[in-house]
Amino acid sequence: MEKTMMFIVCSTLVLLCSTSAYAQKGKSPPSPPISLTPTPAPAPAPEHVNLTELLSVAGPFHTFLDYLVSTKVIETLQNQANDTEEGLTLFVPKDKAFSSLKTPSLSNLTAAQLKSLCLFHALPHYYSLADFKNLSQASPIMTFAGGAYTLNFTDNSGSILVGSGWTNTKVSSSVHSTDPVAVYQVDKVLLPEAIFGTDIPPMPAPAPAPEVDSAAPADAPDADSKHASSESSSTPSSSYRIISFSTRSFLVLAFSSGMALLL
């Protein structure tokens, strides 16, 4: 009986030890902690510029905006500004530039020519004012109208000059210049040779300067001359007074002597 109990106890101990050893052997070591590196936030998308709203508020650019809308060029430029990485550079003439344009007239242009004229005022890339120094060395630069529609740029000590053959003007102010859209004001309408031809009338000669009469006016008498003249005019009067006084003295003396002799 005792042997049986001892056998049962020993068997139980052996079984427990085997189970514990097997459990420790099958247990996998703890995995090292995972360090999570934060993912950098994506760069904010550039703010879209509403060209119609911008040109309506700034300026006045109403005439040019009307041309952009009527030819639907505004949609092309807006898509270029919003949906491409190249961006857009736009040159906008003020209303006065259109009202002062006499020759050539824009009223005779076809719809296709008017559309090309509007596209001629845009470059299919964003250029800051500092970029025009390099553009002046790479001129002529193709515009959004493509083909022979090119512009020449000159950086004259910081002043940006724009030439199109028919037009020579300058960038007078920056309306908006934040990548990807740059809008610059120009003083004149840009007229391409591809539409108006190369028979450009000469610039009118400047008006001659008025002639200045070289004859100097006669010198007015100065104060010294007046004083000398006054003294010379007063001299005869003084001499006359002296002579009159001497004559009277002589007569009085003669009369006194005659009276003394009679007495």
In this prediction, residue 112 carries a pLDDT of 96
Counting as low any pLDDT under 70, the low residues of the chain are: 1-47, 201-263
**pLDDT reported for residue 235:** 47
| Residue partners of 159: CB distance under 8 A and separation at least 6 | 170, 171
* Domain topology for 51-196: FAS1 domain (2.30.180)
Q: Residue 228: its pLDDT value, please?
A: 47
Cβ neighbours of 124 (radius 10 Å) = 18
The confidence score (pLDDT) of residue 257 equals 53
* pLDDT tens digit sequence for 102-116: 888 899 999 999 999
3-state SS record for 133-190:
HHHHHHCCEECCCCCCCEEEEEEECCEEEEECCCCEEEEEEEEEEECCEEEEEECCCC
In this predicted structure, what is the pLDDT of residue 157?
86
pLDDT of residue 152: 95
Q: What pLDDT, on a 0 to 100 scale, did the predictor assign at position 245?
A: 47
Q: Please name which of 159, 179, 50, 171 lies closest in space to residue 121, comparing C-alpha atoms.
A: 171
Question: Which residues have CB under 8 Å from 184's CB, separation 6+?
Answer: 89, 90, 91, 92, 160, 171, 173, 174, 175, 177
